[in-house]
Structure 1
Amino acid sequence: MEITDNKPLISIITVVYNGAAYLEETIRSVLAQDYSNYEYIIIDGGSTDGSVEIIKRYADHLVYWVSEPDRGMYDAINKGIGRAKGEIWTSLNSDDRLASEGVFSAVIDAYRKHPEHIAYFGNIIKERDGERRHIRLEDVGFQRLLSSRHCTFMPQPATYNVKAKTDAVGYFDDQYRYAADYDYHLRILKEGTALHVPIEFTIFRQHEDALTSTGNDKMREEKEKIITAHGYGQQPLKERLLYFIGWSKYAIRNKLFTRTSTAEL
């Protein structure tokens, strides 16, 4: 069955805290989309660096924005989810941006043709110091994502969720300050399937102030708790081998074996 409504609403949530260096570029990448039926929500954590002034300049393009203290990034995303009215929703970090003007159109096309899925995700571009690395992904299910011990196979900044289905799963668990997206994706993949859309959705900016750069040790600790909570230790050996198989395929496809460090994989 295909979706008959040609213009489903997409909700985009951007959370920011002192992100003035990149925020405007993020906003402009949303406003440049060639698909017009979307709503844009920005949740600011009480920035003092000029982020609020940037948000105000674009307030006419937003359905909702707020600047107030929160308990971290995932608490802020949860606030946005609570406000979202779209059939599909996504969270675009304030230091990331959409890879092209046709991302929303590609998501809607996949949703209309394959409405049975709980989420849709695309490829990403990792950008650091002006250099770009193109990451090609493929379909992933719960067991493979759990075995990967990482969210790389289904990146949060490039994932679009069907709200009617993810509402039943609940919100991000903000007891995890660094890896709640990994826990959330495991939870939704217990309830449904995600479809890989083979185009680039998001440019993921890697920089010294990014959460993935500043909290590596704490992120690893949280991931260990998450995989234990989701039953990784009880997996049969053949399922745990998916970890090695999955990472090997990912590394070969994206030509990563020549790198001296796996810290950015």
Structure 2
Amino acid sequence: MTEGGKRIQGNTKQPRLSIITVVYNAAPLFEQYMANLTPYLSNNVELVMIDGASTDGTTNLLKTHSDKIDYWLSEPDKGIYDAMNKAVTYAKGQWVYFLGMDDSLMEGFPAMVQELQNANTIYYGKTIYYGKPFGKVYNDYFLTKLNLVHQAVFYPHIVFDKYQYDTKYKVYADYHLNLRLWNDKDFRFEYRPHLVAGFPEGGFSSTATDPAFEQERDMLFKKYLNRKAYYRYLNRTLGWFKTLIRVVTNG
């Protein structure tokens, strides 16, 4: 294990938000990432980076930028969501926000940080989604169509006292987490129309498959969303006749 950052050097703070980035062999992206991110760091916003023991020079870049990174760690992990679970334990912010190495913060990010007030509220904003600004107030049914864009979501740290990312879902563990949280009485979701981030097309979730999630998708929607949304989802995907059969046979 190798670690570093301002925290190790004795510079401590109690930020409102922790930006978390997990990384593996992303040295070509590092300088652009830091150039975008650095202006948004402050006493209210810290940066935590978790590296999966990269072999391409990423660790040296983490050392080089230790004066800007509040805490970084480099050691082997079991994949992206294992690294994200680990990262939360090192975050000191009241809220946590996950940003990829090839993502970019945008002009609405500081305003969103100021919105983070209610400790039980999961805030979400707007992103550049496939080249266009995207922001929408979600409901149960829309959540069957599209997961909340993870670059838009700001989770209270206490979410991770109750939940972790389930690492059996290799691509959609974040979708699974949002489903579990959606109607959890301990939390609520609130939309704010600030453009907080952009991300490139063809990212991890758009090119990889998640057989475990796809196999359980119907069950997860039924378990975590309201019945009206679930039946509308079935009608959209199966048609009314097969939906009727499913309702009669399975409830």
Aligned to 1:253: none
* Structure 2: unaligned runs, 5 residues or longer: 1-13, 237-251
Equivalent residue for 2:182, pick from 183, 189, 202: 189
Runs of 4+ in 1 over 3 A off after TM superposition: 232-240, 242-245
Aligned to 1:121: 124
- CA spacing shift, 1:173–1:185, aligned 2, 3 Å: same
In structure 2, what residue type is equivalent to 1:20? Answer: A
- CA spacing shift, 1:224–1:175, aligned 2, 3 Å: same
Aligned to 1:139: 137
Aligned 1:14-163 pairs, distance under 5 A: 14-33=21-40, 35-100=42-107, 102-103=108-109, 105-112=110-117, 115=118, 118-126=121-129, 133-141=131-139, 143-148=140-145, 150-151=146-147, 154-163=148-157
Aligned counterparts of 2:182 and 2:138: Cα–Cα separation in 1: 9
- CA spacing shift, 1:65–1:49, aligned 2, 3 Å: same
Aligned to 2:231: 240
Aligned to 1:199: 194
Deviating more after overlay: 181-190 vs 16-25: 16-25
| Residues 168 and 212, structure 2, Cα contact 8 Å, conserved in 1 | no
| Displacement of 1:232 | 6.0
For the aligned residue pairs, the C-alpha RMSD in angstroms reads 2.8
Aligned counterparts of 1:34 and 1:173: Cα–Cα separation in 2: 30
* Partner SS state of residue 210, structure 2: helix
| Displacement of 1:221 | 5.1
List per-residue Cα deviations over 1:35-74 (Å, max 9, x = no partner). Answer: 5422211001111222222222211222221111111100
| Residues 128 and 198, structure 2, Cα contact 8 Å, conserved in 1 | yes
* Partner SS state of residue 231, structure 1: helix
| Residues 145 and 186, structure 1, Cα contact 8 Å, conserved in 2 | no
Aligned counterparts of 1:179 and 1:76: Cα–Cα separation in 2: 15
Q: Which has the larger radius of gyration?
A: 2
Aligned to 2:246: none
* Structure 1: unaligned runs, 5 residues or longer: 1-6, 128-132, 246-265
| Residues 138 and 196, structure 1, Cα contact 8 Å, conserved in 2 | yes
Aligned counterparts of 1:227 and 1:85: Cα–Cα separation in 2: 36
- CA spacing shift, 1:202–1:11, aligned 2, 3 Å: same
| Residues 26 and 98, structure 1, Cα contact 8 Å, conserved in 2 | no
List per-residue Cα deviations over 1:93-145 (Å, max 9, x = no partner). Answer: 11112123x50x22233223xx2752111111146xxxxx113222224x235
